[in-house]
Amino acid sequence: DRAAYADGGSTDDLKVTTTFRTSDSSGSFSCWVKLRDDGVDPLFSYDDGTTSNRLTIFTTNAVSANRFRITSDVGGSTDSVEGTTTLVVAGVWTHLVVVSTGTAWVLYVNGVSQTLSTISGTNSGDWFADITSATTLRMFENPTGVTVSTCALDEVCVSSSQFVQADVDYLYNSGKGRLFEDTRKHVPNIVNYWSISTNHTNMGTDRLGGVNFTVGAGL
C-alpha cells in the first residue's frame, strides 16, 4: 500500500510548491481517498496566500453521512457545491473524480456521476487557472495551512482534459494500484501523477510533470 496517511498533526501535509496548472481553463482531478473516521477532512487546497483566491476539495459530515464538497473563492466570491448521490464511507477506499468544464463542476464518486447540491453561490467550475497567482497545491491541508485530516490519499492524477464517463470508468474499474504507464495510455492528457509513497524522507517526485513536492514530517 503506497498511500500516504495523515493523522491530523501539524506537519501531516504534502505541498507542491510551484505554480500549478495555471495555463488550463478546465481539466480533471482524480484520486483514491480513505477516511479514517467520519468528519471534515481537507483533501486538497490551492491558494494565493489570501482569503480572496482559493480552491478547496474536502469531505463534509452530517449525521455520519460523508460527502465530497468543492469550494472556490475567486475575487472574494464564494461558490460551493456538494455531491449528494453517493455517501463516502469511512475506512473504505473511495474513488473521486472532479471535472471542471470551465463553467461548471462535474463530480464522480466510485464511477457514478453525482447530483450536485449548491451550498453557496453557483456551480461555477472555477479551475486552478482561476485562482489568481496561486503557488501551492496542498494535500491534507486547508488553504490557511492547517492540517486536520485523518485520511489517506493515493494515485493523485491531474489532466488538462475534461474526463468523460469512459475515462472515469477506466480509473475506477481498474482499481487502486494502477501502474502509471498503463494509466497514461488510457486516460487523456495527464499532466501530473503521484503514486504517493511514505518511503520518502522529505521529498517526492511527480511522475510526469517534473515538479517536486515537500512531505511533512508527520507522514
Burial class (CB in 10 A: 0-12, 13-18, 19+), 211: middle
Rounded Cα distance, 61 and 58, in Å: 10
Mean pLDDT per 10-residue interval, the chain, length 219 residues: 61 69 91 86 83 87 85 90 93 95 96 96 92 81 73 87 96 84 86 66 45 51
pLDDT at position 160, please? 93
HSE of 165, CA atoms in CB hemisphere, 13 A: 3
CA distances from 136 to 15, 164, 165, 169, 207 (A): 6, 27, 29, 30, 18
In the block, which residue shows the cell 486547508? 142
Q: Can you name the residues that pair with 204 across neighbouring β-strands?
A: 213
Could you tell me how many residues make up the chain? Answer: 219
Looking at residue 11, its pLDDT comes to: 58
Q: Which of 33, 59, 21 lies closest to 158, judged by CA?
A: 21
DSSP alpha helix (H) spans, the chain: 165-173, 180-186
pLDDT value of residue 122: 95
DSSP assignment letter at 128? G
113 burial type by CB count under 10 A (0-12 exposed, 13-18 middle, 19+ buried): middle
pLDDT value for 195 = 74
Tell me, what's the pLDDT at 4?
66
116 contact partners, CB below 8 Å, separation of at least 6: 81, 82, 83, 84, 105, 107, 123
